[in-house]
């Protein structure tokens, strides 16, 4: 099955392609589709749903969308749904490195380092037929960046079960434990059930 993934992020597309090896995963950019819906919801589910529904209205085929972010306990769950826009002022977004530096500086004096990546994923098959899954990757904020892999906040989140930052994990390790990997596998199981009916 061809699945449209409602994102402009090629890193996420590649992760989804690994998680859905029996399906063709494409993003709007791959097919020259201009896609940038306004994410106005106040939950991960709400924003994932907005993206999924918006792309489905364009392509009329199964759409997968996710909204994800990093939630830091000591910051009351921030940056949360604003993770990609964290620290942005005047409409100018910071790059990943600058966002990471800002977050580390804001939490430098805090002892509570617990955090989690959250991913809500929506499989949208039509206006009355969609599925949603939300998963987490529990971690701890490091005090400096470690590792060159992954993207976003990966270099500053430590995964105790592996003894590494997310950016130090291999692709297989990350897919096994990540919020997006867990949500994707759950959606994949749902998709197989849907496809067989």
Active-site choice (67, 73, 95, 111): 67
Judge residue 23's burial from the number of C-beta atoms within 10 Å of its C-beta, 0-12 exposed, 13-18 middle, 19 or more buried: middle
Look at strands 129-141 and 24-26 and give their pairing.
unpaired
Rounded Cα gap, residues 39 and 24, in angstroms: 26
67 is catalytic: yes
Cα 11–144–163 angle (5° rounding)?
75
CB 18 within 8 A of CB 171: yes
Catalytic residues: 67
């Amino acid at each position: 099955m061809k699945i449209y993934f409602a994102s402009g992020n090629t890193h996420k597309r590649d992760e989804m392609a690994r998680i859905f090896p029996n399906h063709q995963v494409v993003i709007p950019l791959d097919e020259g589709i201009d896609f940038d819906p306004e994410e106005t919801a106040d939950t991960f589910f709400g924003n994932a749903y907005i993206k999924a529904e918006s792309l489905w209205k364009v392509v009329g085929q199964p759409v997968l969308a996710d909204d994800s972010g990093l939630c830091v306990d000591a910051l009351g769950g921030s940056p949360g749904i604003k993770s990609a826009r964290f620290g942005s002022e005047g409409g100018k977004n910071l790059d990943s490195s600058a966002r990471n530096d800002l977050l580390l500086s804001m939490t430098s004096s805090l002892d509570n380092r617990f955090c989690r990546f959250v991913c809500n994923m929506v499989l949208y098959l039509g206006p009355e037929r969609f599925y949603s899954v939300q998963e987490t990757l529990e971690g701890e904020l490091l005090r400096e960046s470690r590792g060159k892999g992954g993207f976003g906040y990966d270099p500053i989140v430590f995964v105790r079960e592996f003894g590494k930052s997310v950016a130090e994990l291999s692709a297989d390790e990350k897919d096994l434990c990540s919020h997006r990997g867990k949500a994707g596998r759950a959606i994949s199981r749902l998709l197989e059930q849907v496809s067989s009916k």
